[in-house]
A and B are shown apart, each in its own frame.
Chain A
Amino acid sequence: MSQKKSRGGASAGDDADELSRSPLQAVLLADSFTLKFRPITLERPKVLLPLVNVPMIDYTLSWLETSGVEEVFVFCCAHAQQVKEHLQDAGWTGKPAAREMAVKTVESHDAISAGDALRVMYGRGVINGDFILISGDTISNMSLKDALQEHKDRRKKDPLAVMTMIIKQSKPSVLTQQTRLGNDEIVMAIAPETKELLYYEDRADASHLCVTIDKDILASNPTLQLHNNMEDCYIDICSPEVLSLFTDNFDYQHLRRHFVKGLLVDDIMGYKIYTHEIHSSYAARVDNFRSYDTVSKDIIQRWTYPMVPDVLSFGNCHEMKLHRQGIYKAADVTLSHSAHIGANSVIGNGTNIGEQCKVSNSVIGEGCSIGKNVLIHGSYIWDNVIIEDGCKVSNSLVCDDVHLRAGAVVEPGCILSFKIKVGKNVVVPAYSKVSLLEKPSNEDSDEELEYADTNSAVTDSPPFSSMRNNADHPTVESEDEDLGASETGTSGVLGYIWASGDTGTQEEWRQSIAPIPKEKLQELQHAIAVDDADGSEEDLNNRLREADHDNDSEISVVEDDDYTKFEKEVEETFQRALDGVHQDNLILEINALRLSYSLQHADCAGAVFYSIMRSALVAAQSTTESLLKATADALTKWRDLLRNYTKTVDEEMEILLKFEEMCQDITKEFSALFSKILPYLYDKELVSEDAILRWAEEKANADESDKVFVKQSDAFIQWLKEAEEEEDEDEEE
């Protein structure tokens, strides 16, 4: 600490000098520490998988070099040898003079998470200044200059700002609540002025549509912006303290889930994380098959310029030419006259495409041979694949050296790993993952583990026969025997089909290469519609509106949106109260919410009333009598709570107006009971007669449609008026 102090005491000029002098370093994790790309990653590390025919790590390294990084430590873990060989082949390592950027590999076989990796890096003691932390599957063309400068400036002012995260706007789908990269939407709270990250949740529970933010955050920050439309680019500018933090907290594994959240929640030594939003440049991480598809398409559509196939400045790739409609063709491609290459396709060098083929939205690697009448749509075919006549491949990923015999059909979402052979006329069912390697049986429940056990390394010629009937791993031919066996004898698929049916079906269609099937989309739509019927239409409206408009939810500005959100939160708080939270706490929480949304007491009254009525509605049976009874009960029970907010006539009015509004559109069940509940409210002293009369007066000038409820309760109002007159008379007397 004293050391830090002394450094802080040094003059600013000195400090700047020091910062600029230290060479910019980067730590590149050549391992994603997840299982998402299995079974492919059993045989080849994820960073070496080709993205539009170029290994992902080349994109990342090239970007680092362009950004002025001078030294990169590539942290290899699984398949370290392959990664090293690739770096050597592609010329990243080994030629010291030719490159401005030194690439050094760090190998460790013990690391099973990003946390471990960073601890190893700390152990090496090679990082001595600010560094970029990036994973080897990140594609970007942003300029780091501004972000770095911001980070350094902040550090000068506040040495506790240890990390700057790069974020980018990206709207999640309303239906699936996923980003376009297939991740769950991330909820971030950011202080608008300082860009400090206050809250980070990447596993927000979509079904409840709620986030819980610590009240300290709300209390200490006058304004904060909640974003659900930001994408985390997984590019971090870190100070050296980050490494020591990982070492100090040896249980940190995941960068976001443990480290970022840990820092934010536990408030370790006051360290702060900031964000930097990029607008015109591109950054994305290939995290799952969905993002593989999306990022590939972004590259083809040139969002990543200059990292596009015809400009690529790295790798051993061949020259590509861009033709109209986003068709990229290498120089030595043999196309037949009748082959039709559709928009947004890439054809690699030495590939041969036969008569009447149709290729669209697909990437085909080098040295492939494609027969006649083949249909390829939205697929990724890697190198040296043989596809015989009449095959159909749609929205799938086909790895190196796969052989599809004539007439084979690969349905959407399939992953065919290396060297798979598919027999004649065999149909590979949707979402199957086929590999020559067996699925590791000791499935660890922990997600954070290395992809390949060392013992399940690649075997060159796996000793599998083509006909395999394993109880655990049923192969395709058992299903398709009738189709293929008669014709070929050796039909089916050579390899294991990884179980896909029971576990994680959800995940399959959400994060596969194939677009979400129409039925699923309809289901989702339907589910939302059902929610409607349940009465949570408001939430949906809220969501839709959020998606339609700018997704920023700026709380500092009071808008309808804010009110509905506030109302929602009050209701949720109230729900918890129903489960037994004490009323006093409830009041406190609602007050806190009110402050954070900077709303009036009257708004609270309306919201609380709304919540109460909703709870009554939920409790009630379908009949009107029971509803009336439930309402009465609820109102009695929560009378004190409501009284808290109905201190003036205005607030009481608010309740009436709210009630009317509810009857009109959200909860029509109450409309019939309006005139019955109104006297009850009066009885319970929730609403004074002044309020009712003023309400009636105001409504007197309104449209006919607005006067429905006034008319409905005309009798009661008349009675009130008379009573008042009587009172007046009494007073007079």
Chain B
Amino acid sequence: MPDVQPLVSDFVLKLKRRKVEGSHAVARQTAELLRSVVSQHRMGNTNQAAALADAIRAVGEHLIAANPIELAVGNIVRRVLHIIKEEDISSTAVGIEGLSVTAVSDDEYDSGNDDRPTLSAAVLASHARNTLRAPSLQTLLDDIPVSTALSHSASSAGDSDGKTGDKSLKTRKLKHDVIAAIGDLIEEIDTCYDQISEQAVELIHQNEVILTLGRSRTVKEFLYAAKEKKRSFRVFVAEGAPRYQGHVLAKELVEKGVQTTVITDSAVFAMISRVNMVIVGAHAIMANGGVIAPIGMNMVALAAQRHAVPFVVVAGSHKLCPLYPHNPEVLLNELKSPSDLLDFGEFSNCMNFSTQDGTPLLDVVNPTFDYVPPKLVSLFVTDSGGHSPSYIYRLISEYYSADDLGVRRMSSS
């Protein structure tokens, strides 16, 4: 742990200073950092998985607090916690099987006695499977404190074996598995563009008109992929004030030979009737299927809905966030410096508080994100395929364990 502390605080500082921005970069760096946390973690003798998870939580809490707006951090932390749990269960399941087999073979003469461990092993296995899932009606009544039972059984397995060499082998195995799984996660983050882009040909048809807002790398790759497959289409790029990333995208598209038209954000409604499909990127996809996206997106989504144009959001699975948006316009937003909008010097005399009764008369609000409610989204395209907004919860229950939702609450209690 102490070895990674500088790395952690360095990354925390970077997040706080907003030096790392953009879900992809953040997700990747978080995963890498957590991988080194895992590899530096010294495994104890008992309850290793829990200790490891605690270590991850402690780091994760800091990272999340450093930039609560960058939801990808929390997503990756939760993914890693989920990975630890999965690996732990798969290894203990093996251990229990071994235990039950030996128990049977040892206590052949007493059938009454051997019944119980076998049974409890099966119970435990079923519980173990359940812990990975969200709490459900199934498990409502059979509420066994699984973690203690598990740890108990794991340690008892160790005791019965009595061989420390075997134990250390097992701990090494858990750590190794977790590191490998995080490696896979990083790989997944890296290749998400390719995975998503593969689906481009199915969605973009010949001679269609696509509208997008601002610049998203995922959208760019998506359009590139369609172009490479010899689709001919036309793209309207809304410039994405005040950062005007749309201009950059337009340049990039033209370089690839895509017919491109740049429009102002306010022209979206005027142009939407000529558009066949809206394809945009996202900052995060929330648990209810709502989207946190660059500012102006809600307007585009509303325009699309008004003219029944499909509104497609492309995003890697690291942007899938298991949280629900509460007042996202305020709480999941970042107000940047007003200097993006207007020049301080030009307006400095409007902000001379000495002659204004002390009340600022000029306020400039520069929010980064917009919230698009799930009912305005037609389709999500992630690395695992296309999904409708109401299906997002299933994806989330696949990627995350339910009790990791509140990383902080868990660790503080």
A and B touch in the complex (CB under 8 A): yes
Binding site for B on A (CB under 8 A): 66, 97-98, 100, 141, 168-171, 173, 175-176, 178, 180, 182, 229, 279-282, 290, 293-294, 297-298, 301-306, 308, 311-313, 319, 321-324, 326, 343-344, 360-361, 377-378, 395, 510, 514-516, 521, 547
Which residues of chain A have C-beta atoms less than 8 A from B165's C-beta? none
Known contacts A321-B331, A324-B330, A395-B358, A306 near B17 by CB under 8 Å = yes
- Please tell me if B105 contacts chain A, counting CB pairs below 8 Å: no
- Please tell me if B355 contacts chain A, counting CB pairs below 8 Å: yes
Cβ B355 vs Cβ A176 within 8 A: yes
Of listed A176, A303, A344, residue having the most chain B CB within 10 A: A303
Cβ B355 vs Cβ A521 within 8 A: yes
Of listed B13, B65, B66, B336, residue having the most chain A CB within 10 A: B13
27 A-B pairs, CB-CB below 8 angstroms? A66-B19, A98-B9, A168-B344, A169-B343, A169-B348, A171-B348, A171-B349, A173-B355, A280-B340, A282-B339, A290-B354, A294-B352, A297-B360, A301-B360, A302-B335, A302-B336, A302-B337, A305-B337, A306-B16, A311-B18, A323-B330, A361-B359, A361-B360, A514-B358, A515-B355, A516-B355, A521-B355
Closest to B8 in A: A98
Cβ B344 vs Cβ A169 within 8 A: yes
Known contacts A306-B18, A313-B17, A515-B357, A301 near B364 by CB under 8 Å = yes
Cβ A515 vs Cβ B338 within 8 A: no
Q: How far is the CA of A175 from the CA of B349 in the complex (A)?
A: 11
Q: Which residues between 61 and 104 of chain B lie within 8 Å of chain A, taking CB atoms?
A: 65-66
Q: How far is the CA of A360 from the CA of B359 in the complex (A)?
A: 9
The distance from the CB of A248 to the nearest CB of chain B, in whole angstroms, is 36
Closest to A313 in B: B16
The distance from the CB of B306 to the nearest CB of chain A, in whole angstroms, is 27
Cβ A515 vs Cβ B353 within 8 A: yes
Closest to A277 in B: B345
Which residues of chain A have C-beta atoms less than 8 A from B112's C-beta? none
Cβ B349 vs Cβ A303 within 8 A: no
Which residues of chain B have C-beta atoms less than 8 A from A361's C-beta? 358-360
Cβ B65 vs Cβ A168 within 8 A: no
The distance from the CB of A377 to the nearest CB of chain B, in whole angstroms, is 7
Which residues of chain B have C-beta atoms less than 8 A from A97's C-beta? 6
Closest to B15 in A: A313
Closest to A344 in B: B360
Known contacts A280-B343, A515-B355, A516-B354, A301 near B363 by CB under 8 Å = yes
Q: How far is the CA of A378 from the CA of B336 in the complex (A)?
A: 24
The distance from the CB of A239 to the nearest CB of chain B, in whole angstroms, is 28
Closest to A319 in B: B65
Partner of A170 from B66, B334, B335, B348 at Cβ < 8 Å: B348
Closest to B339 in A: A280
Which residues of chain A have C-beta atoms less than 8 A from B65's C-beta? 319
- Please tell me if B154 contacts chain A, counting CB pairs below 8 Å: no
Which residues of chain A have C-beta atoms less than 8 A from B351's C-beta? 180, 294, 297-298, 301
Which residues of chain A have C-beta atoms less than 8 A from B13's C-beta? 313
Closest to A307 in B: B17
Closest to B366 in A: A302
Of listed A279, A304, A313, residue having the most chain B CB within 10 A: A313
- Please tell me if B111 contacts chain A, counting CB pairs below 8 Å: no
Cβ A297 vs Cβ B353 within 8 A: yes
Closest to B356 in A: A515
User: Which size class do B's interface residues fall under?
Assistant: 35 or more
Closest to B6 in A: A97
Q: How far is the CA of A425 from the CA of B353 in the complex (A)?
A: 29
Count contacts between A and B, CB distance < 8 Å.
121
Q: How far is the CA of A516 from the CA of B352 in the complex (A)?
A: 11
B interface, over-half SS:
helix
The distance from the CB of A190 to the nearest CB of chain B, in whole angstroms, is 15
Cβ A169 vs Cβ B345 within 8 A: yes
Q: How far is the CA of A282 from the CA of B343 in the complex (A)?
A: 10
Partner of B354 from A66, A176, A301, A304 at Cβ < 8 Å: A176
Cβ B352 vs Cβ A303 within 8 A: no
Closest to B16 in A: A313
For the complex of A and B, the 9 pairs showing the least CB-CB separation, nearest first, are A169-B345, A313-B16, A305-B337, A378-B358, A171-B349, A170-B348, A515-B358, A180-B352, A280-B339
Which residues of chain A have C-beta atoms less than 8 A from B353's C-beta? 180, 293-294, 297, 515
Which residues of chain A have C-beta atoms less than 8 A from B335's C-beta? 302, 305, 308, 322
The distance from the CB of B129 to the nearest CB of chain A, in whole angstroms, is 38
- Mark contacts of B1-30 with chain A using CB atoms, 8 A cut-off: 1 yes-contact digit, 0 otherwise: 000011001100100111100000000000
Cβ B345 vs Cβ A171 within 8 A: yes
The distance from the CB of A378 to the nearest CB of chain B, in whole angstroms, is 4
A297-B360, A304-B337, A319-B65 given; name 14 further pairs at CB < 8 Å. Answer: A66-B17, A170-B348, A171-B345, A171-B348, A176-B354, A290-B354, A293-B353, A294-B353, A301-B364, A306-B18, A311-B16, A378-B359, A515-B355, A516-B355
Cβ A279 vs Cβ B343 within 8 A: yes
Q: How far is the CA of A281 from the CA of B336 in the complex (A)?
A: 12
Cβ B338 vs Cβ A303 within 8 A: yes
Known contacts A515-B353, A516-B354, A168 near B345 by CB under 8 Å = yes
Which residues of chain B have C-beta atoms less than 8 A from A378's C-beta? 358-359
Which residues of chain B have C-beta atoms less than 8 A from A343's C-beta? 363
Which residues of chain B have C-beta atoms less than 8 A from A516's C-beta? 354-355
- Mark contacts of B354-394 with chain A using CB atoms, 8 A cut-off: 1 yes-contact digit, 0 otherwise: 11111110011010000000000000000000000000000
Q: How far is the CA of A97 from the CA of B9 in the complex (A)?
A: 10
Of listed B9, B10, B344, B354, residue having the most chain A CB within 10 A: B354
Known contacts A169-B345, A321-B331, A180 near B339 by CB under 8 Å = no
Q: How far is the CA of A516 from the CA of B356 in the complex (A)?
A: 8
Q: How far is the CA of A290 from the CA of B358 in the complex (A)?
A: 10
Of listed B353, B359, B364, residue having the most chain A CB within 10 A: B353
Q: How far is the CA of A308 from the CA of B353 in the complex (A)?
A: 19
Of listed A169, A302, A322, A547, residue having the most chain B CB within 10 A: A302
Which residues of chain A have C-beta atoms less than 8 A from B336's C-beta? 302, 305
Q: How far is the CA of A600 from the CA of B358 in the complex (A)?
A: 48
Closest to A98 in B: B9
Q: How far is the CA of A547 from the CA of B346 in the complex (A)?
A: 11
Q: Which residues between 315 and 337 of chain B lie within 8 Å of chain A, taking CB atoms?
A: 330-331, 334-337
Q: How far is the CA of A57 from the CA of B65 in the complex (A)?
A: 23
Q: Which residues between 286 and 301 of chain B lie within 8 Å of chain A, taking CB atoms?
A: none
Of listed A298, A301, A312, residue having the most chain B CB within 10 A: A301
Partner of A515 from B5, B19, B345, B354 at Cβ < 8 Å: B354
Q: How far is the CA of A634 from the CA of B235 in the complex (A)?
A: 76
Q: How far is the CA of A97 from the CA of B335 in the complex (A)?
A: 32
Q: How far is the CA of A432 from the CA of B77 in the complex (A)?
A: 55
Q: How far is the CA of A514 from the CA of B357 in the complex (A)?
A: 8
Q: How far is the CA of A290 from the CA of B351 in the complex (A)?
A: 13
Which residues of chain B have C-beta atoms less than 8 A from A302's C-beta? 335-338, 366
Which residues of chain A have C-beta atoms less than 8 A from B340's C-beta? 280
Cβ B358 vs Cβ A281 within 8 A: no
Q: How far is the CA of A281 from the CA of B334 in the complex (A)?
A: 18
Which residues of chain A have C-beta atoms less than 8 A from B66's C-beta? 313
Q: How far is the CA of A377 from the CA of B364 in the complex (A)?
A: 21
The distance from the CB of B148 to the nearest CB of chain A, in whole angstroms, is 33
Which residues of chain A have C-beta atoms less than 8 A from B17's C-beta? 66, 306, 313
Q: How far is the CA of A173 from the CA of B336 in the complex (A)?
A: 27
Which residues of chain B have C-beta atoms less than 8 A from A312's C-beta? 16
Q: How far is the CA of A377 from the CA of B353 in the complex (A)?
A: 13
Cβ B337 vs Cβ A282 within 8 A: yes
Which residues of chain B have C-beta atoms less than 8 A from A326's C-beta? 363
Which residues of chain B have C-beta atoms less than 8 A from A323's C-beta? 330
Which residues of chain A have C-beta atoms less than 8 A from B346's C-beta? 169
Q: How far is the CA of A343 from the CA of B362 in the complex (A)?
A: 12
Known contacts A97-B6, A98-B6, A306-B17, A173 near B363 by CB under 8 Å = no
Q: Which residues between 14 and 67 of chain B lie within 8 Å of chain A, taking CB atoms?
A: 16-19, 65-66
Q: How far is the CA of A484 from the CA of B340 in the complex (A)?
A: 53
Which residues of chain B have C-beta atoms less than 8 A from A180's C-beta? 348-349, 351-354
Cβ A173 vs Cβ B16 within 8 A: no
The distance from the CB of B366 to the nearest CB of chain A, in whole angstroms, is 8
